[in-house]
Amino acid sequence: MNQERIKIKDVTPKEYNPKTHKGGDDRFNPSNRIYVRAMKGVYQQLRQRMGWLMMGLFLILPWITYNGRQAILLDIGRQQFNIFGTTFWPQDLMLLASLLMVAAFALFFVTTFLGRVWCGYMCPQTVWTFIYIWFEEKLEGPANKRRTQDSKALTSDLVVRKTLKHIAWLVVALISGLTFVGYFLPIRELVPGFFTFSASFLAVFWVLFFTFCTYGNAGWMRSIVCIHMCPYARFQSAMFDKDTYIVGYDAARGEKRGPRSRKTDHKAQGLGDCIDCNLCVQVCPTGIDIRDGLQYECINCGACVDACNQTMDKMGYPRDLITYTTEHKLEGKKTHIMRPKLIGYGAVMLAMFGLMAYLVVSVQPMGLDVIRDRNQLFRINNEGLVENTYTLKILNKTQQDATYQLQVEGLDNAHWYGPQQVNVNAGEVFTLPISLGVDPYELERPIVDIRFIMEHQGSEETSRLVTDSRFIGELR
């Protein structure tokens, strides 16, 4: 496997630049707040569409009904995950484990190939942060205006605007909190119950908790979450190599930086294509200067790419001074797409996806557990038969009531004491005690392997489930 690593590069500024550094590096200091400048462009349009898609799915999914029930309900209290008519129980834990492994290796694969595009385009922290910045932009004005306003004393007009902004933030946070909790509690009961004060204490607590988290993370902490709290920002470098696509600055073309007139020959002045406008810094949601090289704070959102391309268009220079590229390409070398690390992550991801698909297809709409009475191995009943007692746990994994037929195989002429047809409500476990009796003269050996068979006649097909057990007796 390719063990090549990106060399550590010192990006400490040689000189203090007030355009790119506002009040030091302490991001926890309110005076060092990052004012993100709005930017339009190809990548920002793509990011917005991806964000609205993620937001739309998040808000709509818990409201979808399937067969008269909430299509997605992760009922932790009852230990049931109801997903589009199928109920998953703790017995199906392997499915959850395989899903998490697929997600993990998909993230590793995408990161090795395309860098932190998940962070820049689909991460909830990024999506909600840009939604909050949109409200900020509409109610308080552009970034430069917000910076100027915040450096002066508050006015009545600014107080009103800031109040409206925080109200909008809280509304978005409350909708997000209600929706998130609605994945775990019936949302059609949760929402009216919350506003009529009839919801349970725990439901209200979790709604307010996630409301506060959304408001704090997207409104106040923003880049602090990405840089200091998210573990992904720290371990991503283990998946990067020089063939990973990153947002990069072509220093060979851009240096030496400096302002100039559009009509002058900047090459004759010894200048590169970078006019040092600092737009790439002003639009960055984490406040870094991509011209200083690859940095772990970069979330690959492409805002600086769109900003630089607009500047290049105005100056009449070729685009992509800042673009999605690789370390090898910036060094004038060939980029290798197919490489051992990427192939390895992809192979494991596909293997885990295949395992998950197999487990999903293999999931039975019902479950049967057979518990043999261990206190008494057998007894001779009034009819002179050897009798064993069992407890059947019948699980209906569907979201509709079902009728099941029960029988046993492996015992000739066995007597079944108890009902052989049972009705089980949707998503419930039915406990059925039964006994089996056999003429001792018909037993060929003292321990007989038997099979309990449960069948359900559905509208389209018959489901059949077999569970092994044993019958113990004495020979005569």
Residues of the domain holding 307: 1-363
Considering the domain architecture, whether residues 281 and 416 belong to the same structural domain is answered as no
Considering the domain architecture, whether residues 421 and 353 belong to the same structural domain is answered as no
φ/ψ of residue 18, rounded to 5 = -65, -15
Alpha-carbon gap, residue 351 to 355, rounded angstroms: 6
Considering the domain architecture, whether residues 453 and 378 belong to the same structural domain is answered as yes
CB 280 within 8 A of CB 307: yes
- What token pair was written down for 335? 């980029």
Considering the domain architecture, whether residues 293 and 412 belong to the same structural domain is answered as no
Considering the domain architecture, whether residues 16 and 30 belong to the same structural domain is answered as yes
Considering the domain architecture, whether residues 430 and 317 belong to the same structural domain is answered as no
Considering the domain architecture, whether residues 110 and 205 belong to the same structural domain is answered as yes
Alpha-carbon gap, residue 255 to 330, rounded angstroms: 13
Query: Which domain-ending residue is among 363, 384, 404?
Result: 363
Considering the domain architecture, whether residues 388 and 345 belong to the same structural domain is answered as no
58 exposed, middle or buried (CB, 10 Å; 0-12, 13-18, 19+)?
Answer: middle
Considering the domain architecture, whether residues 384 and 359 belong to the same structural domain is answered as no
Alpha-carbon gap, residue 111 to 341, rounded angstroms: 11
Considering the domain architecture, whether residues 328 and 383 belong to the same structural domain is answered as no
DSSP 259: -
Domains identified in the chain, total number: 2
Considering the domain architecture, whether residues 5 and 29 belong to the same structural domain is answered as yes
Give the CATH number of the domain where residue 425 resides: 2.60.40.10
DSSP labels for 264-306? Answer: S-TTTTT--S-----HHHHT-TT---GGG---TT-----HHHH
Considering the domain architecture, whether residues 348 and 380 belong to the same structural domain is answered as no
Q: pLDDT digit of tens for each residue in the chain (476 aa)?
A: 455 555 555 555 555 454 444 444 555 555 578 999 999 999 999 999 999 999 999 999 999 998 888 999 999 888 888 888 888 888 788 888 899 999 999 999 999 999 999 999 999 999 999 999 999 999 999 999 999 999 899 999 999 999 999 999 999 999 999 999 999 999 999 999 999 999 999 999 999 999 999 999 999 999 999 888 988 888 887 889 999 999 999 999 999 999 998 888 989 899 999 999 999 999 999 999 999 998 989 999 999 999 999 999 999 999 999 999 999 999 999 999 999 999 999 999 999 999 999 988 888 888 999 999 888 888 999 988 999 999 999 999 887 889 999 999 988 889 999 999 999 998 889 999 999 999 988 888 889 999 999 998 766 678 889 999 999 987 66
